[in-house]
Structure 1
Amino acid sequence: MADPRFVPVHPPRPAQMSSAWRSLFNEHARNSVAGWSQLAFTEWHTRRNVLGTIVHIPRHPAAIERVLLGNAANYEKPRLVKRVLAPLIGRGLLSSDSELWRAQRRIVAPSFAPGAVAQLAGLIAQAAERRMATWPDRGRLDIAAAATGTTMAIIADALFSGDPRLTSGAAARNIEAALLAAGQVRITALLGFPGIRLNRTAWRGERGRRYLRETLAAIVRERGPEGGDDFLGAMIRGLHERFPSEEAMALATDNAATFYVAGHETTANALAWSIYLLAGDQAVQDRAREEVRAEIGGDPETLADRLPYLRQILDEALRLYPPAPRFEREAMADDELHGVPIARGNIVSVWPWLVHRHRKLWDDADAFDPDRFAPGHEAGRHRFQYIPFGGGPRVCVGARFAIVEALVILAHWLAARRFTLADGFAVDPLGSVTLRPRGGLVVEVSPA
């Protein structure tokens, strides 16, 4: 009997990976999840020489655990990556290291504590309902655009007191342009010239970056040292307590960019991919809808914790389509990863996209199966074979917020609407800084 599990789309996998030189200019350079060979999902380690820089790509969970936890102090954000991200997010939490990172982490962490996140559940539910009210009763809908608009409104309301400059169409377009460009600048960054703009994508990205930085800098300046009564205000005050005024304001802008962009982009993509997977498996969708309808009328602050099956679906979506398909570290001293020597200055590139679909770690790795995350199924699973939010000390500080946000939105949408795959629409995963559906993700919607 045929396996009924839905196998969602992924890029073709050639028998062999292109050379390091070719991969700088072919489709892999434009889409980081494309061009990976079949061997990338069966072997444990790849070593490449990219224009004189040695890059290691480990897939064994023990090697990843050493990078992210066991010897995390030895693996910092690479200087190359900092050069690429600095124009957009400066020295904010995502791109800083050592004491600067620790100081900023301590400032923002209270805003993402479980209690603080729970208090936002009602706001999240209202945003989900408002967006759904704009949908047709029946017909086609770009769920990626719907998810982006919803999470953008939520992050603006939750962290920035609903500033209208952060929910405009121009803001959405500029974020997309800036992220696509940042994911493609590694060629010039490797050559030591990250500021060179070689194509239209890069030029648009630069315009998007300027728009976002100037808008957020203006908002920070308007707030002044007292900040205000929201996340941004608390962050501004915390930075002023620890840093000189000018540096505090610069770091406030850097972190505003970090949390505004990362705070809605990654969750929007997780929502879009989750709906796509549910549209491809109606039995899973029906079971999830039954669960949410039984729970959605209760306390909104605990709704996310009362949806165990929907959480399994979200976890599986994050496995198949991790929000950040890759992240890098640079070795500060010689080390060894699962038997492979690592020299000081080598880059270690961790790819959730590869680890989450590795044949030796997951049964039928490309199939959609929420039961992988059912209670009891974690036995024998290495904790570093599933890393949608990273791991170790630098695990994403906003992970709890992202999970609650996604579950509450999915619950409200599933309770009211049915989603099916749209005939003739080709879903295409595009890896840049984040993993988004290229050109949107169209589904059919109808009353549930």
Structure 2
Amino acid sequence: MDMIPEAFCPPAPIPRTVPPSRLTIIRTILRNPLELWGEPSYTLPWIMTRFFRERTLIVNDPGLIKHVLVDNASNYCMSEIRQLVLRPILRDGLLTAEGQVWKRSRKAVAPVFTPRHAQGFAGQMLSQTEAYVRKYENSGSEGKVFDIAIDMTELTFAVLAETLFSGEIVTESGHFADDVNQLLHRMGRVDPMDLLRAPAWVPRVTRIGGPKVLDKFRGIVRKTMDRRLDKMHRDRASAPDDFLTLLLEKAGPDGLTMEEIEDNILTFIGAGHETTARALAWTLYCVANTPHIRETMEAEIDQVLASGAEPVAWLDLMPNVRAAFEEAMRLYPPAPSINRASIADDEWTSPSGERVEIPAGITVLIMPWTLHRHALYWDKPRAFMPERFLPENRGKINRFQYLPFGAGPRVCIGATFALQEAVIALAVMMHRFRYDVTDETNPWPVQKLTTQPQGGLPMRVTRR
């Protein structure tokens, strides 16, 4: 009788059992916020606490999450700390805009990300992945070591550049992955001045050098916009009907300002591919540590590709590949926190009659990082078990206990795009190559806007 292999538990911080001091909180937030959370965050449905005299409600209960993000979403705005971190980078981009500005931007970009439109990108996703993985062709039977964290950033950027910008992003170097990492490292972290609610004009020591990197990104965006506008003015028929053109055509008194267009383009260039890249890298790492899961995925991929099925159908035809990717996003959610603030007094009553009062002004933290590893909602929460997400098991997962793309009006607009891209990329890579860990593969999850592997993800790539 075959033995079922023991489940693989990839690296993650052990929940704290002793409340941290104020100094420890500051140090941990600066180093890695994922290491801050204690045992109650992984075992209780909600916690009322204080961070630096600020009342904070940490929410894990799916019903309460639904109340905040969907049922009474209009009573919750972006939290101040979140905006202090992100607005200097993205300004009025889709991730940070609020009110009418957000509504205008969401309406403007929505047509590109309808499921039907996103499916039209499948061919480009396939061709870009096939072109990128040629770098592995000379790996040979012994294999060569590549930093998969960097590779996945480069791959997903290539896909984004081709699908949304028709390959016309004006990059200034061949080291775009390094540029993104520099931007997130210097600009994407909480600073002690943020915790103290210092005004935006007060310098943030942790962001020294960040404005220079940001100026570089904004320069890329402006040059990209200018070249496309020039093409549109000379001959509209020569301009691709892509995301970039769509946004530029929305400029005007009844649409978007040029500044809002710039902010949204920066949002998608700087962050639109980052989340998928991190999830792909973590998937390859987890799969490399579970040979029986890898064999199942390889067999499924080989069968579908041998059938000649078009890439647009792969998402439905490869449930095991999709399940592995979704399980990796459970363990390493690309966006590990969702931050809101209550505008007016609110309350919620659980099905068992417990009442939660939510005062005006309180910070509400919904943490996919802790929610996805919560003892109340998951069996073996720290283990990599893709079977949770197979079609026959999906019904057991509450919509609001799994939030890799958020929920409610501000749900990630690119969710379908990302899932399709991920399955196509994994299928192409795993059909041709195997990705294995080395003695140097010791990733540690660190929160820098996204959940990143500290020190990268060196993996050995061999031809199958």
Any idea what SS the aligned residue of 2:250 has? helix
The CA distance in 2 between the partners of 1:237 and 1:309, in whole Å, is 40
Letter in 2 for 1:237: E
The CA distance in 2 between the partners of 1:98 and 1:154, in whole Å, is 31
User: Partner of 2:144 in structure 1?
Assistant: 139
Residue identity over aligned pairs, in percent, reads 33
Residue pairs, 1:203-222, within 5 angstroms = 203-222=208-227
Q: Which one of the candidate residues 6, 15, 23 is aligned to 1:13?
A: 15
Segments of 5+ residues of structure 1 without an aligned counterpart are: none
The CA distance in 1 between the partners of 2:180 and 2:49, in whole Å, is 31
Any idea what SS the aligned residue of 1:366 has? coil
The CA distance in 1 between the partners of 2:202 and 2:177, in whole Å, is 24
User: Partner of 2:123 in structure 1?
Assistant: 122
Segments of 5+ residues of structure 2 without an aligned counterpart are: 234-238
Deviations 1:387-428 (A, max 9, x none): 100001211001111111111000000001112221242111
Q: Does 1:49 align with 2:65?
A: no
Does the Cα contact within 8 Å between 1:389 and 1:399 map onto a contact in 2? yes
User: Partner of 1:400 in structure 2?
Assistant: 416
TM normalised by structure 1 equals: 0.93
The Cα of 1:314 is off from its aligned counterpart by 1.1
User: Partner of 2:165 in structure 1?
Assistant: 160
Any idea what SS the aligned residue of 1:235 has? helix
Q: Which one of the candidate residues 326, 330, 351 is aligned to 2:337?
A: 326
User: Partner of 2:434 in structure 1?
Assistant: 418
Q: Which moved more, 1:145-154 or 1:178-187?
A: 178-187
Deviations 1:134-177 (A, max 9, x none): 12231222111110110111111111221353483443323212
Residue pairs, 1:85-124, within 5 angstroms = 85-124=86-125
Any idea what SS the aligned residue of 2:257 has? helix
User: Partner of 1:446 in structure 2?
Assistant: 462
Letter in 1 for 2:68: V
Letter in 1 for 2:121: L
Residue pairs, 1:19-30, within 5 angstroms = 19=21, 21-30=22-31
CA 1:265–1:239: 2 relative to 1, 3 Å: same
CA 1:126–1:441: 2 relative to 1, 3 Å: same
Does the Cα contact within 8 Å between 2:337 and 2:366 map onto a contact in 1? yes
The CA distance in 2 between the partners of 1:152 and 1:393, in whole Å, is 26
Q: Which moved more, 1:127-136 or 1:353-362?
A: 127-136
Q: Which moved more, 1:358-367 or 1:125-134?
A: 125-134
TM normalised by structure 2 equals: 0.90
Aligned residues: 443
Does the Cα contact within 8 Å between 2:169 and 2:220 map onto a contact in 1? no
Deviations 1:256-313 (A, max 9, x none): 0111122110010011011001101011011101111111232122222211111111
Does the Cα contact within 8 Å between 1:17 and 1:36 map onto a contact in 2? no
Letter in 1 for 2:314: L
User: Partner of 1:252 in structure 2?
Assistant: 261
The CA distance in 2 between the partners of 1:47 and 1:221, in whole Å, is 49
What do you get for the CA RMSD once the two structures are aligned?
A: 2.1
